[in-house]
Structure 1
Amino acid sequence: MALLLKLEGDDELLYIASEASLTDELNSLIYSDEDILVDSNGQVYGVTTDSRGIVVLEYKHETLSLEDVTLLVQAHEFSLAQVCLTKIQFNSIAEAIQALHFAQ
């Protein structure tokens, strides 16, 4: 499992390596209905809680393209002011998500 977490109103992305790390991140954040998770296929999930307060991922019936994910990663790197944006290119969405893991 590898996901990226995009918080509403923030260009910074969080790399999520496992269900446990997702739980840890969500427990430490105040998340909104506009936050999204993107999996390695580009599928988009929202973060909600059920009536017991348990975090639930809700498939948004939306899929981001490789170009969309690349733009998210470029905005993330620009917000950190560390990398030349034109050098950020990927062959797959999974590769784009993994790049965040290696950048941490």
Structure 2
Amino acid sequence: MISWPCTLKLDGDDELIYLGSEQDFISECRELLLCDDDYVIDSFGNSYVIELTSGKLELIKTKRILVANEVTNLIRAHEFKKASLCLTKIHFLTVSDAIKSLTY
């Protein structure tokens, strides 16, 4: 079962999109052109591909589990794009903490 909040990682883009709930996921994805390599990371590091089945968006769990360091690196790239934080100060002990930092 997916653990909210999550983040949406779009293929080819360093920007991460914070998803606080399933409703946020549905709202965000309605506005986007998704590709096969986009994925969602939940608060435990589980990754999910996005599939459109019978007009409904579904999250399908993959075998890939990201650790805190991997999610931290994604957030560093995200923040570098915004040029608003010192990247060396970005560090998280858990995936959940990393994802929650995107709300700020």
TM-score range, shorter chain: over 0.9
The separation in 1 between residues aligned to 2:60 and 2:41, in whole angstroms, is 11
- Paired with 1:18 and 1:41, the residues of 2 have a C-alpha distance of 15
Name 1:5's counterpart in structure 2. 8
Q: 2:86 is matched with which residue?
A: 84
SS in 2 for 1:5: strand
Q: Which contiguous aligned blocks of 4+ residues in structure 1 show a shift greater than 6 angstroms?
A: none
2:28 is matched with: 25
Q: For residues 41-83 of structure 1, what are the alpha-carbon distances to aligned partners after superposition, in whole Å with 9 as ceiling and x for unaligned? A: 1000000111x12111111111001110000000000011111
Matching residue of 1:93:
95
Count of residues in correspondence between the two structures: 101
Q: TM-score, normalised by structure 2?
A: 0.94
CA distance in 1 between partners of 2:46 and 2:12 (Å): 20
Distance 1:21 1:93 in 2: 19
Gap runs ≥5 in structure 1:
none
| Aligned alpha-carbon RMSD (Å) | 0.6
1:96 Cα deviation after fit: 0.3
SS at match of 1:62: strand
TM-score (norm 1): 0.94
- 1:72 maps to 2:74: yes
CA distance in 2 between counterparts of 1:20 and 1:54 reads 12
Ranges in structure 2 where 5+ consecutive residues have no aligned partner = none
